[in-house]
Amino acid sequence: MTRENGPKFADKHGANAQADPIATDKIKNSAKNGEVACAVAFQIAEELKHSPAEIGKTIDLLDFRLMKCQLGLFGYGPAKKVVKPKAPKNQQLEEAIREALVGEKLSCRDAWSIASRFKVPKMTVSAACEALEIKIKPCQLGAF
């Protein structure tokens, strides 16, 4: 299900952007209706020893849509995002989030790292960010 109207995802990479053929095959075989879940994209990156950014770029070049962000920020149907604001119960979690901010934003990579360090689900970190009115950006896959 590629986009038929409006700009293509590939446009943001320029006319000379090239997709890795092995990643292209793996993504095409994993996609469902032109959509690739965030978790699947990360599995492919790990299997192929590619960066998440490279897999995200290849998904864009195929004009496929990323779905089901593991932070709950996009790709969940009409509601788009499923994460709901929830203040962190742990003061140390909030401090870790605030310490990792760059220009009032927390990177997706840092959100994952904080979740791992505190042994909490990734959506716990994104819910805390929502409650603290902190944007998570940039996405490791390049979605935002």
pLDDT tens, per residue, the chain with 144 residues: 444 555 688 888 888 889 899 999 999 999 999 999 999 999 999 999 999 999 999 999 999 999 999 999 999 988 889 999 999 999 999 999 999 999 999 999 999 999 999 999 999 999 999 999 999 999 999 998
Structure tokens, 10:
């590939």
Closest CA to 127 of 99, 94, 87, 69: 87
Instruction: Give me Rg for the CA atoms of the chain.
Output: 16
CA–CA gap between residue 18 and residue 37 (Å, rounded): 22
Is the pTM for the entire model greater than 0.85?
Answer: yes
Structure tokens, 78:
């009409």
End-to-end CA distance of the chain: 20
